[in-house]
Amino acid sequence: MREEKETAHRLAAYSDAVFAVIVTVMVLELKAPDQPAFSALWPLWPTAISYAVSYLFIAIIWINHHYLMRFVGAPTLGLMWMNFAHLFLVSLLPFATAWTRADATLVSERTRHMARRRSLVVLAFFTTAMLVALVAPRLGFGLICGALILHLRPEVPGSRP
């Protein structure tokens, strides 16, 4: 039994190390401005926001992973492979974050406006769902599902070249 727990702890420790590397890679993608003034940081706000959201996303995934690993007995080969697959997908987050920060001038003003509006609508759905779920969990879940439907097609209507 002790060996089983040690193996589970090793798997959790390895996963923690991968999460640490992912966060390190993300922070290395941040580039300091040329001027050492706070005003030089202002143009970097989109990068800072995307980093903060990505970091929060990693934190949520790690917390859930940590919570679930408490219940692991002797890790099976299947669990280890699933863990590696999970970590692989999480490791793509720095790439995805950098990719979404690509040259915003390639996106039309109309498309940016529509995407911003859709994001605000989804945020309003999530906020409403959170409050509704306190009294009607199923309705709150339905609101979350409704908000996610807005993202089934990632492109904004009319944004195709």
**pLDDT tens-digit series, residues 49-108:** 888 888 888 888 888 888 888 888 888 899 999 999 999 988 888 887 777 676 656 667
- What phi, psi does 135 have (nearest 5°)? -115, -25
The model carries a pTM of 0.59
- Work out the number of other CB atoms within 10 angstroms of the CB of residue 83: 20
Tokens matching residue 129: 């769902």
Task: Enumerate residues 6+ apart whose C-beta is below 8 A from 19.
Answer: 58, 61, 62, 65, 87, 90
Q: Report how far residue 105's alpha carbon sits from residue 119's, in angstroms, rounded to the nearest whole number.
A: 19
pLDDT score, position 21: 92
pLDDT score, position 15: 92
Three-class SS state of 80: helix
Q: Report how far residue 154's alpha carbon sits from residue 161's, in angstroms, rounded to the nearest whole number.
A: 15
